[in-house]
């Protein structure tokens, strides 16, 4: 059957994405990693609790492998967060900027890093407010010296 030349072609409902992990899978995986690190849990420990290898956990955390609904539920229970935690802060399309490196927030980048999580966890464990102030002064002094 011939299609008339003046016929309107239907547009696909969803545009094709470039290959590679879907951004939501990458985001969810990063949130799994962040929460696991906040709790001080290793990939091996999480994998063992789920009956998986640490390599599978690595793939989840990188967004290479998608996390199914039942597995997501199990991970949320183990990491003691609601499932919604893994989707928090996700922007389907960035509100500002184009996702370029120069648009990133250095404070949030630090907090999401392994060192940042450890620093926050250990700093939070300090009960003495005077000690906290001295630690902050030390870090500020080091940062000031490093920027000279």
What is the model's pLDDT at position 95? 40
Q: Are 30 and 61 in contact (CB under 8 A)?
A: yes
State the 10-residue block means of pLDDT for the chain, 148 residues long. 63 66 92 92 96 97 95 97 92 50 68 83 92 92 82
What is the model's pLDDT at position 99? 43
Residues in the chain: 148
| Longest pairwise C-alpha distance within the chain | 83
Number of CB atoms found within 10 A of residue 81's CB? 17
Q: Could you tell me the residue ranges of all domains in the chain?
A: 20-90, 106-148
End-to-end Cα spacing for the chain: 75
What is the model's pLDDT at position 70? 97
CATH number of this structure's domain 20-90:
1.10.260.40
Rounded to two decimals, what is the model's pTM? 0.66
What is the model's pLDDT at position 94? 45
Q: For residue 125, which of 38, 33, 31 has the smallest C-alpha distance?
A: 38
What is the model's pLDDT at position 13? 58
What is the model's pLDDT at position 47? 97
Euclidean distance between CA atoms 122 and 76, whole angstroms: 24
Residue 103 is given by DSSP the state G
Q: How deeply is 122 buried, as exposed, middle or buried, from its count of CB atoms within 10 A (0-12, 13-18, 19+)?
A: exposed
């Amino acid at each position: 059957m011939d299609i008339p030349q003046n016929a309107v072609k239907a547009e696909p409902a969803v545009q094709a994405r470039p290959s590679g992990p879907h951004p939501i899978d990458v985001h969810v995986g990063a949130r799994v990693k962040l929460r696991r690190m906040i709790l001080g849990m290793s990939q091996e420990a999480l994998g063992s609790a789920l009956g998986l290898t640490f390599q599978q956990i690595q793939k989840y955390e990188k967004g290479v492998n998608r996390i199914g609904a039942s597995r997501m539920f199990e991970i949320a229970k183990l990491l003691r967060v609601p499932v919604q935690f893994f989707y928090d802060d996700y922007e389907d399309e960035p509100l500002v900027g184009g996702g370029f490196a120069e648009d990133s927030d250095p404070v949030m980048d630090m907090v999401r890093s392994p060192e940042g999580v450890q620093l926050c966890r250990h700093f939070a464990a300090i009960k003495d407010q005077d000690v906290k102030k001295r630690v902050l002064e030390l870090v500020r002094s080091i940062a000031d010296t490093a920027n000279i």
